[in-house]
Chain A
Amino acid sequence: MKPLDSKKDYQDYVDKKSPNSPILKNCFNAFWVGGLICTIGQVIMNIAKSRGLSQDICGTIVSIILIAISAFLTGLNIFNKIGKFAGAGSLIPITGFANSIVSPSMEYKSEGYVMGVGGKMFTVAGPVLVFGISTSIIVGLIYLIFNTQNITLV
């Protein structure tokens, strides 16, 4: 079999030639950085609780603070370095969501505040919002229709 005989042969040949990402190293870094971010969140939560705030408000405070830190680090050209190092570890927590909204806002500021920042802000996060919200609605409907025993979630 020669690599250029067919498109499939060439694709197989290229796959063999292309180095894979270092999965073990990436997983390890994602694990400890992701864990660290969650630990920071938990510390903020405990401090808020010790000040006598309710569980609901503490959760909101954690989100607000993590989003603020992540947006700030994005602006300082630091978050992309953390993201490159930690991958999903910094992407999956709410920090990644904040970064995905702030980074296009910065990039497209040159096209103006309305069509640039406003129009392009959700180019990366948009799909997450659309499918996240859609999924919640479907789950909500299932809950509404089939929850005949009046079970309460959470």
Chain B
Amino acid sequence: MQKLGKQTIKFDNPPVITEVASIVGPKEANGPLAKYFDQCLEDEFWGEKTWEKSESKIIKETVNMAINKSGIPSNDIEYCFAGDLLNQCISSSFGLRELNVPFIGIFGACSTFVEGLSLGAIFIESCAKHVLCAASSHFCSAEKQFRFPLELGNQRPQTSQWTVTGSGAAVLSQNGDGPFITHITFGKIVDMGIKDANNMGAAMAPAALDTLICHFKDTGRSPSYYDAIITGDLGYIGKEILTELALDKGYNIKSNYNDCGVMIFDKEKQDTHSGGSGCGCCATVFSGYFFKQLNEKKIKRILLIATGALMNSTSSQQGESIPSIAHAISIEM
């Protein structure tokens, strides 16, 4: 493991993403990526009485599925990194309380999945053989906590995004021939003064830009090195902003750039306005779609940049702007 430039770590023995799993809710199941997910739920409750319990069950079952698919005995999983959006990260800690694996709860808002993969990869390189990373979000529990009751008859602004119901989990190992995590770039907190909690993509795009440029500078790579550059949940507006800003800084990412929030829903048919968001957005799209593309060697090198808006409902009511973050990992076959 060595440090490159200011913010990037390069692995000497790149950790392997051995197996992944993804479970999504009914709206995602009607989206364009439905066939790639391991399981699609028929309703948001999944037999539970509250949204919060349902989200816990989703992350629990996703983690169990990832472990089962990997064939690694759960006793051999040495650490678990997980997080979500609910206050004090209750979905992951409640959902994984019976897992019986040392648990490191993390919060990076919607960047949590990549934050977990990055930390897990460092653990693999330094001391552990198998590590688990997971993240989840749930549309209904997020609406309840951050916005309004579900049944309230209000209109969503065009810039708003739709929190993905779902969870993605990945098992990282020291050895194997799956996709390798070769570099990670931890991002800085960037705040360009956007206060509108209904325009997260615009708030987070400068953070994604900062990490993107930093990654290219630290590694000496250019955008064309990657088959795909993927952001977590910038949505349509954030995607357009990032593309333009990157071009302005001399990095043309037009041809190979996409966003998980743009990919997971059909904007016209599903009425999701600016696209998907939430920890589950990047976690399920990577675990569902990109992992399979990498394994089938349809794409060989991706740069996954998960973005997070580090705010809560109190800070927005107090008129604070939205500090944002983005972490990037380079995954190669």
Interface size on A, residues (CB 8 A): 39
Complex Cα spacing A77 to B206, Å? 38
Binding-face segment, A1-9, A38-46, A55-63, A134-142: A1-9
**With a CB–CB cut-off of 8 A, which chain A residues contact B202?**
14, 17-18
Give which listed residue, A7, A26, A106, A110, contacts B49 with CB less than 8 A.
A110
Instruction: Check B33 for interface membership: any CB of A closer than 8 A.
Output: no
Residues of A within 8 A of B104 (CB): none
Contact of A124 with B151 in the complex, beta carbons under 8 Å: no
Q: A11-B193, A14-B241, A19-B159 are in contact. Are A104 and B153 (CB under 8 A)?
A: no
- Indicate whether A18 sits within 8 Å of B158 (C-beta atoms), given known contacts A3-B248, A4-B192: yes
For A104, the chain B residues whose CB sits under 8 A away are: 149, 152
Assess the B206–A80 pair: CB atoms within 8 A.
no
Residues 81-112 of A, flagged 1 when their CB comes within 8 A of B and 0 if not, give 11110110011000010011011101110100
Minimum C-beta distance from A89 to chain B (A): 10
* Best-surrounded residue of B51, B152, B248 (most CB of chain A within 10 A): B152
Cβ–Cβ contact A14 & B199, under 8 A: yes
Cross-chain contact B194 with A91 (CB below 8 angstroms): no
With most chain A CB atoms within 10 A of its CB, the pick from B202, B206, B209 is: B202
CB-based nearest A residue for B206 = A4
What B residues does A82 contact at CB under 8 A? Answer: 153
Complex interface: chain B residues within 8 A of A74 (CB): 151, 153
Beta-carbon contacts under 8 Å, A1-55 to B:
2-4, 7-8, 10-11, 13-14, 17-21, 26
The size class of the interface chain B forms with chain A is: 20 to 34
Give the shortest distance, in Å, between A121 (CB) and chain B (any CB).
Answer: 10
The reply to whether B151 and A10 contact each other, CB–CB distance below 8 Å, is no
B150 within 8 Å of A (CB atoms): yes
Measured between C-beta atoms, what is the minimum distance from B332 to chain A in Å?
Answer: 30
Contact of B151 among A14, A90, A103 (CB under 8 A): A103
Please encode chain B, from 150 to 185, with 1 for each CB lying within 8 Å of some chain A CB and 0 for all others: 111111111100000000000000000000000000
| Distance in Å: Cβ of A19 to nearest Cβ of chain B | 4
Beyond the given pairs A3-B244, A91-B154, A106-B149, 16 more chain A to chain B contacts, judged by CB atoms under 8 angstroms and listed by A's residue number, are A3-B245, A11-B193, A11-B194, A14-B194, A14-B237, A21-B155, A80-B153, A83-B152, A83-B155, A91-B153, A100-B152, A104-B149, A107-B150, A108-B149, A110-B49, A124-B149
Name B residues whose Cβ lies closer than 8 Å to a Cβ of A. 49-52, 144, 148-159, 192-194, 199, 202, 206, 209, 237, 240-241, 244-245, 248, 321
Residues on A close to B: CB < 8 A? 2-4, 7-8, 10-11, 13-14, 17-21, 26, 74-75, 77, 79-84, 86-87, 90-91, 96, 99-100, 102-104, 106-108, 110, 124
